[in-house]
Amino acid sequence: MSINQAKRVNIVSLKMVKESSVMYEGRKISQPRDAVEIGRKILDGSDREKLLLCCFNTKNEPTSLNIVSIGDLNTSIVHPREVFKVAILSNSASIILFHNHPSGDSTPSKEDILVTERIKEVGKIMGINLIDHIILGDNDKYTSLKEQGII
């Protein structure tokens, strides 16, 4: 084999780095209202759309949070690969997605619903259940796609 045909292959390892933490009073999430508090701790006051992933263990206890995507005033690009990368590294049994609408209106867009359906399907294949997708608006307003019957 000539040197021109050889290819260098990187040897890699993955590790998660804890950047910080937030206190969460309720140990378990049993309804969307319980989850809203944890999403607001990260997303409140943001001037751009952000997609937040909350990972859960088998007891529905939150284990990690990750901002998956930062968009602009009214859009954020979401790819299942980025969502599930962190979920897998966190050994998640299930996940909840949050995103904010800087406009203050928590009504889901057509794109919000399509992304949610796509993430749900990928989650089924991977064995990581999408519990909910919660859209945060102003003044404690939120929309749970689970409560809306979309999930």
The verdict on residue 151 lying in a domain is no
pLDDT of residue 120 exceeding 70, the answer is: yes
The verdict on residue 14 lying in a domain is no
Q: What is the pTM of this model?
A: 0.84
pLDDT given at position 3: 60
pLDDT of residue 46 exceeding 80, the answer is: yes
User: In total, how many domains does the chain have?
Assistant: 1
| Mean pLDDT calculated for residue range 95-111 | 93
The verdict on residue 40 lying in a domain is yes
The verdict on residue 95 lying in a domain is yes
The verdict on residue 20 lying in a domain is no
The verdict on residue 91 lying in a domain is yes
The verdict on residue 27 lying in a domain is no
Q: For residue 150, name the pLDDT band (cuts at 50, 70, 90).
A: confident
On average, the pLDDT of the chain sits at: 88
The verdict on residue 125 lying in a domain is yes
Of 74 and 145, the structure prediction assigns the larger pLDDT to 145
Range of the domain at 55: 32-143
What's 107's domain CATH number?
Answer: 3.40.140.10
pLDDT given at position 26: 65
Answer yes or no: are the C-beta atoms of 71 and 107 closer than 8 Å.
no
pLDDT given at position 1: 52
